[in-house]
Amino acid sequence: MDKMIHTALNTLKNLSANRAVRAQNMSNLNVPGHRKDLNTNFTSGFLHQVNQYDSRVFAIHDGGNGFSNKQGQLNPTGLETDIAINGPGFFIVQPKSGDPALSRRGDFSVSNTGLLVDGAGSKVLDTGGAPLEIPGNKKLIVAENGDVFIEPLNGAPGERQLVGTIGTSLGGSKEDPLIKSLDGHLRLSSGGVPGADQAAVLSQGFLEGSNIDAVSELIGTMEDQRQFEINIKLISLSKEIDEGGTSIMRLPS
């Protein structure tokens, strides 16, 4: 009975962890380019040692920090600072704190210091890993390969000037995949980010939504609740079985 009870308790703990993941996903439903966090698959293990209870249980899981890399819907906005990646790939950014990271968030703007930043305030880096500066201009043009052109304020009509290239990367590999760091940004499992390979295709005037499906998250929450109730009943049943066995073994008075 001890194993049954401890297994159920361990399952309740795991369900609580997955509920936190679902809550995190729902809170980022409207964040451009956000990547859905994946629930961790858990099983239970038992310790078998001399002079120890076999009912001691610990969780075995398949690793955390996983995310879904499915592309979100591309929505036309018409804004020249909204940039989406059409297909695989990531922007290389410098968050406000921490090391450089990869991102799909393309709601860009020009800061008061002239740097290209996303909606979270992360600096967009160029192919050399430096923040991308955008001078004053009449028009901003971003090519599919990430080249950024401007029409200078005092330039001739139709004149274009290359000011830099948005650094992009296809991400990790099977040997060194991408994971979500504790700060929520995407980095290689070994740490850091890959170099810019410019293989991503950019679309100006579009914004990628998050790849979170609110309906599936709500259904998953309901399923987790049912699993929670089942395990509570299992604990209650284990108690009844244990008490029944004890009453049978009790000597008659």
- pLDDT tens by residue, 7-61: 777 778 778 878 888 888 999 999 999 999 987 666 666 666 656 555 566 666 6
Query: Which pairs with CB-CB distance under 8 Å and at least 24 residues apart come from 211-218?
Result: 211/34, 211/35, 211/36, 211/68, 211/69, 211/70, 211/71, 211/72, 212/25, 212/26, 212/28, 212/29, 212/34, 212/36, 213/36, 214/26, 214/29, 217/22, 217/25, 217/26
pLDDT attached to residue 119: 94
Residue 29's domain comprises: 2-67+212-249
pLDDT attached to residue 166: 97
191 and 227 both lie in a single domain: no
Residue 117: in which H helix or E strand, if any?
strand 116-117
81 and 202 both lie in a single domain: yes
Token pair listed for 97: 């704190």
203 and 221 both lie in a single domain: no
Distance CA 102, CA 194 (A): 9
177 and 114 both lie in a single domain: yes
Distance CA 135, CA 123 (A): 15
10 three-class SS: helix
79 and 194 both lie in a single domain: yes
Segment 64-87 mean pLDDT: 92
The number of distinct structural domains making up the chain is: 2
86 and 189 both lie in a single domain: yes
Segment 117-130 mean pLDDT: 95
41 and 102 both lie in a single domain: no
193 and 79 both lie in a single domain: yes
pLDDT attached to residue 53: 54
250 three-class SS: coil
108 and 233 both lie in a single domain: no
43 and 96 both lie in a single domain: no
180 and 83 both lie in a single domain: yes
117 and 36 both lie in a single domain: no
